[in-house]
Amino acid sequence: MSRPSSYTRWVSDFFSYETTKSVVVKSWVVGVVNRGVQLLILAYFVGWVFLHEKAYQVRDTAIESSVVTKVKGVGRYAGRVMDTADYVTPPQGTSVFVVVTKQIRTEDQAQGVCPESEAAFHCSADRDCRELSPGTSNGMLTGRCVPYNATLRTCEIQGWCPPEVDTVDVPVMLEAENFTLLIKNSIRFPLFGFEKTNLPPPGSGAELGRCRFHPQLQPLCPILRLGDVARLAGQDFPALAATGGVLGIKIGWVCDLDRAWELCLPRYSFTRLDSLARTPAPGYNFRHARYYRWPDGSERRTLIKAFGIRFDVLVYGSAGKFGIVPTLINTVAAFTSIGVGTVLCDIILLNFLKGAEHYKARKFEEVPEADIPATPASPTACPPGPLGTCSRDKQSTDSGTFSLGL
């Protein structure tokens, strides 16, 4: 008998119906908590979601950008005057370029055999060279131990000779600190068809050639002094020029297209991109060679180990414009979230306040179908209480709202 009874109860519960019952609780504590939570939620949506985050806007983060750079300045290095063609690489004016500040030059190298210059290849006999790895940074070992000078012997290599000696002390071109960099940046937000450049519009009267970027005085000037870029990135220019490094120039376009076109302005910031912490080979350097032929037809080259500052121009941004869909979605979310106050108040009423059992009895009531009267009761009749007595709690006749005083 228990199985059919259990099955019948399950079917009865499944086909039951729940409806909201409104109970008005006269309690200062619960009322203050309810209104306080609602006020906090409303302030969050109005202040943060709508005003600060501008959640009523459609946003475009797929920024399209082009960057053209041009470095100007003349410096003196190792008795020679150097211009941009000598110290800027690559010369095309891209968003990533290097300003060379120090060079170690190995002149007149030719293919042949010669003693290795590195200390790791010192030797006393040929067998010392045969036990080593066949390749070095300058060439291939021949297996012979030959004189390097009057007192020192090293392993012989085959390659470009004489080999490079990169431990020599060479000067730094400190004039590079006063070189200037012009950045021409054009951006487009394809979702809105919005285009702009960081240069002043023609006829605006701005003297582009005379301005110099300053974070407070001239924050929109696209001409930057290299020493200022290093300083704003928290670096010492002479030390950076001696070892080399990578600096980032970030241009941010965060635009509110509900405002005027001219109010969409770039923001410049600077940082060092290569980490100095736990770096086995700090700094930045690279090698390149210039090839030529001697009158006898033999090929020669000048090997250059260049130290410099690499600049990476990074462009990011987003644009927003009013949209009815995000506005409706976030408005509905705001009104829905206000209901959190009701949930919190129910938790307090059902678990912590005096009279919680009385509130439970009023909030959760089960009405079997057999107890529903065939004809509506008189509005003036006294409703039956839990024990068959007359209940005198205040009750509205139209919505089933109870008013409890706790």
How far is residue 317 from each of residues 60, 189, 250, 363, measured CA to CA in Å?
9, 9, 10, 53
Q: pLDDT at position 395, please?
A: 46
CB 104 within 8 A of CB 305: yes
How far is residue 322 from each of residues 264, 327, 375, 406, measured CA to CA in Å?
16, 8, 56, 47
CB 384 within 8 A of CB 391: yes
Which residues is 402 bridged to in the sheet?
23, 395
The label of the residue with tokens 């205040």 reads: 394
Residues 6+ apart with CB under 8 A from 360: 350
Mean pLDDT by 10 residues, the chain (406 residues): 65 71 73 83 89 89 94 90 92 92 93 91 91 87 92 93 90 93 95 92 69 92 95 94 94 93 93 77 90 91 94 95 92 85 77 71 66 55 52 47 51
Which 8-state DSSP code applies to residue 370? G
Locate 167 and state its tokens: 């431990």
Q: pLDDT at position 29, please?
A: 75
Q: Is the pTM of this model over 0.85?
A: no
Residues 6+ apart with CB under 8 A from 265: 220
The label of the residue with tokens 């006829």 reads: 203
Q: pLDDT at position 376, please?
A: 53
Which 8-state DSSP code applies to residue 50? I
Q: What's at 237, amino acid-wise?
A: F
The secondary structure element, H or E, covering residue 32 is: helix 28-43
Query: In whole angstroms, what is the distance from residue 92 CA to residue 338 CA?
Result: 58
Query: In whole angstroms, what is the distance from residue 67 CA to residue 382 CA?
Result: 83
Query: In whole angstroms, what is the distance from residue 110 CA to residue 119 CA?
Result: 22
CB 249 within 8 A of CB 208: no
Q: pLDDT at position 367, please?
A: 65
Q: pLDDT at position 365, please?
A: 67
